[in-house]
Amino acid sequence: MVAVTKFIKELIIYDYILFGSLLTLFIIFVILGIVLRRKTFLAVFLVLFAFITLVAGSTFGYIAMHQYLFKNQTTIISQKKLSFTKAVVVYGTLKNTSDRDFKSCKITVSAYKVGGNKIKNYLFKFKPINKMSIIESDILKGHEREIKFIIEPFTYANDYNISLGANCK
């Protein structure tokens, strides 16, 4: 319940426009399906299409809109596995490339395995060895912020890759 309340509080005007227009489309398709109930196949198709539009449109629309509105660029400057302790130090930058100021950014660094198989390498990204996040606040448009992560404990001895990403609002 807390997550839903937090999500609703963080919505912006564009989110309300997106969800409102998708709800309107949903209602139009359902009414159209009810009106055309004599043509069973078309009516069922319209109702199913209405539900698919509502679910997929709100999910993918929200993600795509936020990627467009809150564009950012993350870069890894350097990474070093420390020999005296079980840790990896990662230096990077986060640049605000959007047209709006960021109130907060959740910056995440992940370390994941690397193997000889391309498919396994792709799947390893979804289950990192170690993952760490920080939150940076108030990044103005066009500004860049340097960040430092210490991934600890890091006990993996084989080949690995580091990825850096940010989700800003």
**What's the pLDDT tens digit per position in 82-106?**
888 888 899 999 999 998 889 889 9
Residue at which a domain ends, from 20, 35, 69: 69
Residue at which a domain ends, from 69, 87, 115: 69
If pLDDT is split at 50, 70 and 90, which confidence band does 158 have?
A: confident
| Same domain? 122 vs 63 | no
Print the domain residue range for 94: 72-168
- Please, what's the b/e burial string for 88-107 (b: 16 or more CB within 10 A of its CB; e: otherwise)? bebebebbbebeeebeebeb
DSSP state of 154: -
The CATH number for 132's domain is 2.60.40.10
Distance of alpha carbon 65 from alpha carbon 24, whole angstroms = 19
On the question of pLDDT at 24 being above 90, the answer is yes
pTM for the predicted model, two decimal places? 0.78
* Arithmetic mean of pLDDT, 29-58: 94
**Structural domain count of the chain:** 2
